[in-house]
A = this chain, B = another copy of it.
Amino acid sequence: MNFPSKLIESAVDELAKLPGIGRKTALRLVLHLLKSETEETTDLADALTKMRNDITYCEQCHNISDTEVCSICANPLRDQTSLCVVSDIRDVIAIENTAQYKGLYHVLGGVISPIEGIGPSDLNITSLIERIPGSEVKEIILAISPTMEGDTTSFYITRKLRELGVKITTIARGVPVGGELEYTDEITLGRSIVERTSYNKV
């Protein structure tokens, strides 16, 4: 694509570096910004630069934060006895939005993936192990995606944490709420039968 202006071209080039945005979409966004008020562009640019430069990570759970210790870790009303281990910041936001969990988090920053060259030392696993002794944590919930890499990571962490004497659980796998049985894949359906839950818990 040829552009009538070098300024447009460089703006399109930069936007097209973002994931899921091609050059056609980038051009559409640029032309939208050109049509709207100048402030919209400066506000966007400022918000992005400020976010990138000023953001810090919580020194306890490695979640993104505006302060040294994030608002979840600093909140005394949260349940200090359970710790949810997730691979990504996005997972913290997703679980928080369910409003079903009131404990603490630990963000690994990824999953073990030999293909991408990510080993256990590249993740926040050491800080997870060091966090447990002396804390009130009684249960560690592994909320990691059930992919091959995710399961490897869960297995690795379980083995490392075994000696610490805390209960280790994982989130339930099964048929999604609102999902049709006939469209559920065989492995999930099989697992949902094996790990069935009782209606009349004794």
Contact = CB atoms under 8 A, between A and B. Distances in A.
A65 interface: yes
B6 A66 contact: yes
Interface residues of A, number: 58
Contact of A70 (B4, B27, B43, B93): B4
A106 to B, nearest CB: 14
Interface string A15-34: 10111110001011111111
A33 B47 contact: no
A89 B30 CA distance: 11
Interface string A21-55: 10001011111111000101111111111111111
Contact of A41 (B2, B25, B49, B90): B49
The 3 A-B pairs with the shortest beta carbon distances in the complex, nearest first, are: A45-B45, A41-B52, A11-B51
Interface of A: 1-8, 10-11, 13-15, 17-21, 25, 27-34, 38, 40-55, 63-66, 70-72, 88-90, 92-93, 96-97
